[in-house]
Amino acid sequence: MVYMKYIADVVTLEFFQEKCTGCGKCVEVCPHGVFLLQDKKVFITDRDRCMECGACANNCEFGAINVNSGVGCAAAIINGMITGGPPSCDCGVESGSNCCG
């Protein structure tokens, strides 16, 4: 499989090694293999793979991860720009569209 990566050096993912206990939760939930557990320590393999979904930060009990999560959906961000609110993707039944598949 060709592994696709998005634009380099833009993601907001932050990892604080000193708070990390090596529990491995982030490794378990990340859909892009951004974290790697080695010798009971966690490392970031490739930040550019991160899609800012927020699953890791949501499940890290020790506050070792910080990420500004949100949907990478152009329509949503344009909506947000127009309304001045947060990005909102109109997925779901009400709008009849389902941008996220």
Q: What is the CA radius of gyration of the chain?
A: 16
Question: In whole angstroms, what is the distance from residue 46 CA to residue 100 CA?
Answer: 24
Question: In whole angstroms, what is the distance from residue 81 CA to residue 96 CA?
Answer: 22
Residue 25 within binding range of ligand SF4, rule CB under 6 A? yes
Find the binder of other proteins among 8, 38, 84, 85 (CB under 8 A). 8
What is the footprint of other proteins within residues 28-67 (CB under 8 A)?
28-33, 49-55, 58-59, 61
The SS3 of residue 76 is helix
Question: Which parts of this chain interact with other proteins (CB under 8 A)?
Answer: 1-2, 4-8, 10-12, 25, 27-33, 49-55, 58-59, 61, 68-78, 81, 87, 89, 91-93, 96-101
